[in-house]
Homo-oligomer: A and B are copies of this chain.
Amino acid sequence: MATTKTPDATRRSERSRRAIFDAALELVGEVGYDKLTIEGIAARAGVGKQTIYRWWPSKAAVLLDAFTAEAGDGEAELPDTGDLAADLKRVLRATVDEFNDPKFEAPYRALATAGANDPELSQQFVIKLQDTGVQAYVNRLGKAKEAGHIAEDVDVRIATEMLLGPFTQRWLMRSGPLTYEFTDTLVDLVMRAVTPR
């Protein structure tokens, strides 16, 4: 028998989904990935655990959707004003704000460290999440290369890693402050590396 959801039921579903995502992100930041459970997420979200299992097969699946919903689809593409350095600085400054926000930072750190310990989780999940971000830079640098703003022989993926690697390392190991000054300097140096002579 086919059923059609009423508008009210759809709104209720959407509210539950948001509550589940919020609960999953909060909890993974508090207890870490290993101790995160579907039961815990359900209790925090105020829903039955069957509600979660109906939509997602595992805690990893819930978290992946939660992060994706948080990031929003639009951010998969970098701005292109024609000024590569300015665009990179703008996006990296926004990323500084994000990584200095505990609400984002805690769950992301929990996942990154769980992924570093667990090759399978890393392959299925952490990489998937990171690759979306990395790919956005690779695409933007690729367009700049086509436009002649980046030298022919530059590997745009490695150039991307030169921008994001130092940032992620400082964050993950807390080995230096994440500031606009840091990311601006990084962009200026990478621009010198990639700009045609």
Contact = CB atoms under 8 A, between A and B. Distances in A.
Dominant secondary structure at the A interface: helix
Interface string A98-139: 000000000001101101110100110011001100100000
Contacts of A155: 185, 189
A157 to B, nearest CB: 8
Contact of A162 (B32, B162, B168, B173): B162
Interface string A173-189: 11110000010011001
Number of copies: 2
Contacts of A116: 109, 112-113, 116, 172-173
Contacts of A165: 161-162, 164-170
Interface residues of A, number: 42
Contact of A117 (B32, B159, B189): B32
Interface in A45-102: none
A122 B173 contact: yes
A130 B126 CA distance: 24
Contact of A161 (B127, B158, B169, B192): B169
Given A155-B185, A158-B186, 15 more contacts: A116-B116, A116-B173, A123-B174, A127-B174, A134-B175, A154-B189, A158-B189, A159-B189, A161-B170, A162-B165, A162-B166, A162-B186, A165-B165, A165-B168, A169-B169
15 contacts: A32-B117, A113-B113, A115-B173, A119-B174, A126-B173, A127-B175, A130-B173, A131-B175, A158-B185, A162-B166, A164-B166, A164-B169, A165-B167, A166-B166, A193-B193
